[in-house]
Amino acid sequence: MVNVGIIGYGYWGPNLVRNFFAAKDCCVKSVADARPERLQQLEKVFPSIKGVRNAEEIIYDPNIDAVIIATPVFTHFKLAKKALDEGKHVLLEKPMTSSIEEAEILINLAEQKNVLLMVDHTFLYTGAVQKMRQLVDNQDLGNIKYLDSTRINLGLFQHDINVLWDLAPHDISILNYIVNERPYSVNSTGITHTNNGIENIAYLTVNYASGFIAHFNCSWTSPVKVRMMLIGGDKKMILYNDLEPTEKIKVYDTGYSHSNDEEKNRVLVDYRTGDIHVPKLETTEALLGMANDFISCILEKKQPQSSCHLGLDVVRILEASNKSIKHNGQEVVLKSANLPVLPNVQEILI
């Protein structure tokens, strides 16, 4: 049995409480939130859980084994560090931290303390993403060539993070979960329509040495909600529409290959279009899957699917996107890429 405390009972907190309540081998002991009205809400629905005003009451509670942090991003590092210092297992909401440096410090600390540090990239636990990973792993798509994601709607403008940090972690975590190759570099452009300098529309290209490319289109200012991702391989392609109630994943027996037309000295491209297959997906709640993964990885000392390393890789791309936007879309090469620098590239290293 793992005793958990949850810090932050805002928009996402109730979902976390409900699912950790339902998780196996887990007991939700207390929830911290500075706002009395939120604690009243908590008590009404979960009278068995103790509400506390201060995060420290959870972090320093000796009866608590694991701390779940669901507060604004800029507070993640400080809270997580304290909890890790106390030897607690920690689950951080996405995005993991405000910077690569913070994430690396936490990862080292968790290793040192021999506790679990995990990030809640809930989407990885959906039937849709599990199915996509399986299709890619089984080579059903052939060599994958691109990922193209659109996540736009009329959304709550955040005050501390831009639209990429708010919306893209979902899609970048899926990218990192499905694609094994490490990205080489990042380009990003965007615009702010307020006077606080925080982008409400932004575009992100992630470049890979192999020729794979990923692109993300995020906006808080679209009149329509779109949650769409294309993953293209040379054998098959996937359309993932998260708003579809029953047909989230469509697998197109569509591909293309090229050869050289010796005679005309040009490239010939062959297309193929065929049947479409809509696999039935697991419908268990993703957040419960995440909660169970966290608890069982603590008990069995394993690495979770949504690991801190994946969480760090998401932050790596986000931090690089910030740098690229500030430099008017210039390419930012990811240090982690560990690749020989390509010639004649005017680059910014991150």
277 touches its own copies (CB under 8 A): yes
Binding-site member from 252, 289, 316, 320 for its own copies (CB under 8 A): 252
- Which segment (63-71, 79-87, 244-252, 284-292) binds its own copies by CB under 8 A? 244-252
User: Contact with its own copies (CB under 8 A): which of 30, 98, 187, 306?
Assistant: 187
The alpha carbon of 265 is separated from its chain's Cα centroid by a whole number of angstroms, namely 44
Q: Which of 100, 33, 34 is nearest to 68 (CA)?
A: 33
> Which residue is listed with tokens 């996509």?
132
Q: Which of residues 114-173 bind its own copies (CB under 8 A)?
A: 145-146, 148, 150, 152, 154, 156-157, 159
Nearer Cβ to its own copies (99/143): 143
Report how far apart, in Å, the C-alpha atoms of 218 and of each of 157, 170, 172, 201, 203 are.
12, 11, 12, 6, 6
- Does 41 bind its own copies (CB under 8 A)? Our answer is no
Q: Would you say 275 or 300 has its CB closer to its own copies? A: 275
Could you say whether residue 260 binds its own copies (CB under 8 A)? yes
Shortest Cβ 18–its own copies spacing (Å): 11
Q: Give the nearest distance from C-beta 92 to its own copies in angstroms.
A: 24
Kindly identify the residues of this chain, within the stretch 198-227, that bind its own copies according to CB under 8 A. 198, 201, 203, 205, 207, 211-213, 215, 217, 219, 221-225
189 binds its own copies (CB under 8 A): yes
Residues from 325 through 344 that contact its own copies (CB under 8 A): 327-331
Q: What order do you get walking across the sheet with 66-69 strand by strand?
A: 50-52, 26-32, 2-7, 66-69, 89-93, 117-120
Min dist CB 275 to its own copies, Å, is 5
Residues 6+ apart with CB under 8 A from 187: 204, 205, 207, 324, 329, 330, 331, 332
Cα–Cα distance between 338 and 182 in angstroms, integer? 9
Cα separations in angstroms, 87 against 66, 83, 133 = 9, 7, 33
Element containing residue 344 per DSSP (H, E)? none
Are 350 and 330 spatial neighbours (Cβ–Cβ below 8 Å)? no
User: CA 347 to CA 333: how far, in whole Å?
Assistant: 6
For the bound state, the minimum distance from the C-beta of residue 252 to its own copies, rounded and expressed in Å, comes to: 4
* CB proximity list for 156: less than 8 A, separation 6 or greater: 220
d(CA 21, CA 29): 10
Site for its own copies in 71-90 (CB under 8 A): none
Q: Is 276 in the site for its own copies (CB under 8 A)?
A: yes
The amino acid sitting at 296 is S
Site for its own copies in 46-75 (CB under 8 A): 47
Residue 109: CB minimum distance to its own copies, A: 31
Q: Which helix (H) or strand (E) holds 93?
A: strand 89-93
263 interacts with its own copies by CB under 8 A: no
- Shortest distance, position 232 Cβ to its own copies, whole Å: 6
Question: Does 269 sit near its own copies (CB under 8 A)?
Answer: yes
273 binds its own copies (CB under 8 A): yes
